[in-house]
Every structure is written in structure tokens, then in C-alpha cells.
Amino acid sequence: MLIAHLSDLHIRPQGMLYQGLVDSNTMCEQAIAHLNKLLPRPDVVIITGDLVDEGLPQEYAMARELLAGIEQPLLMIPGNHDDRTLMGSTFSQPYLSSTAGPWHFVADDLGPVRIIGVDVTVPLEHHGDMTEAAGAWLDAALAQEPTRPTLVMLHQPPFLSGIPYIDTYACRNSERLREVVQRYPAIERVVCGHIHRSMQLRFGGTVLCTAPSTTTAIGLALDAEAEEASYVEPPALLLHHWKVDTGLITHWVPIGTFRGPLPFA
């Protein structure tokens, strides 16, 4: 099973730039074009939040137009830049019981890997929160098929990366999530967005990884006094490949056209 993973698209109204400087819409188009050239084709596409930048109706109209190019089933959770109500009215999410929120869902019919979305966003805030209710919901969802290979997706990462100006907005009460994850060894991966960089670490007995953005990368600054910065680094997506013999393998896939193929390996 192949799961393509996009994050933090920060789509703007037509003709407008992200932060007034970067053409995130064109970069999103390029990401989708790259995605559609992958062979074999992914079975499902997931987006771990921040579909748009300011939660505006015009942004969601643009997002609907851009994402129409994705042919696979599409699973999304909101990020801190999203408006959950507008997002729900723009896109059909067949696994949701309510569009009012939070957007928790279980997608268990797309392949051997079950995909669980946990909405940890806090309306009008940038940090996330693994609330007691969210933790209980996730525990109950996992208990339905405790031995099935599972990917859990959320927006804000439940760890401190060492980048001071993004760690302020991490997912709070991460220990609650860790305790739930530890009870289910079949969880192959916990995946996040928000941080605009690819990172990986052990978490709750499994592997947690964050997805790069399809637009700017948040500067990798580990100095406690570092000032906020972003860079136009090569955009990328993640490709999670589940096989019976290995479990889940995660690939970082740069978006663009590169020299090659060259006649050697």
C-alpha cells in the first residue's frame, strides 16, 4: 500500500502570494503534478493540515480547484491556519461523522493500513492539544482492531524539535498521546505537519515523522535565541510504503525536475 503525504500547502486566493513573497499556489500545482507521475500510483493521499493560509472562502475555492487534480481518495485534517467549518463545507470527508469538529476519523477500507486522523487543533490558536476527549477517542478507535497496521495523523507535532520559534506551537499534553500509542504496537507511524520540515524520532514505541511543506521550509535554527526565519528550500512530500515483509517504509520525495536518469545505480 502506498500513502502519499502532503502538508502545509498554505494555498492563497488566486493571484496572491504566501506571506506576500512566495507563490504557494504554483508550488502546490507542481506538487500535485509530481504526485500524479509517481509509479506505481499511490492508493491514497493524506494532507496533515494548513491546507490554506488564512482560512478565507476564496482560499478554499482555490484549494478545491487545485486539489481536483488529485485522483486518489483524499484524507485531510485541519491545521491551525484552517477554518474547520469552511474546510468541511468545501470538501467531502466521507469518514467524518460531523463537520462541526473535531475532525477525528477512521479510514479502514483503503488498503491493509488503517489511517486514523486526530484533530488536535485549537480554534483561533496556533498550538495543538491532545485533550482528554481526543485521547479517549483515539484509544477507542485503536481498540477496534488492535493488531491491524495503522498510521495516525495529526497536525501539530507532540514533541519539541529544538527550533524555539516553532516549539511554542507544538501539541500540548503529548504524554497523553504517548501513553495511548504505547498500548498499540501495531501503530506503524505517527505523522504530523505544521513544522515545515522533515524530522523523525522514536515516540511511544513507534516512529514519528513530520512532513515537509510544499512551500517554504521553516529555518533549522537550534539556537535558543534564534529569530523566526523561513527559506525557499526544495519542496517535498513523503511517500509511506507498506509491505508485508517490512512494514512501513517512509521516503522523502523532492518535488521538481532533476538531472537523470543516469545509466548506473
Q: What percent of the chain has pLDDT over 70?
A: 99
Query: Cα–Cα distances in Å, from 81 out to 29, 69, 126, 156, 184?
Result: 20, 22, 8, 11, 31
Fold designation for 2-254: Purple Acid Phosphatase; chain A, domain 2 (3.60.21)
pLDDT of residue 92: 84
- Quote the mean pLDDT of the chain: 96
Contacts 24+ apart (CB under 8 A), 83-88: 83/52, 83/55, 83/56, 84/119, 84/121, 84/123, 86/55, 86/56, 86/57, 86/60, 87/51, 87/52, 87/60
- Who's near 230: CB < 8 A, 6+ residues apart? 19, 196, 216, 217, 218, 219
From 82-86, 153-157, 187-191, the region with the lowest mean pLDDT: 82-86
pLDDT value of residue 98: 67
Cell of residue 194, nine digits: 505544521
Model pLDDT for residues 76-100, shown as the tens digit of each residue: 999 999 999 999 999 988 888 667 7
Q: What are the tens digits of pLDDT across the range 225-261?
A: 999 999 999 999 999 999 999 999 999 999 999 999 9
pLDDT of residue 97: 67
Please write the tens of the pLDDT for every residue from 5-27. 999 999 999 999 999 999 999 99
pLDDT at site 145: 98
pTM above 0.75, yes or no: yes
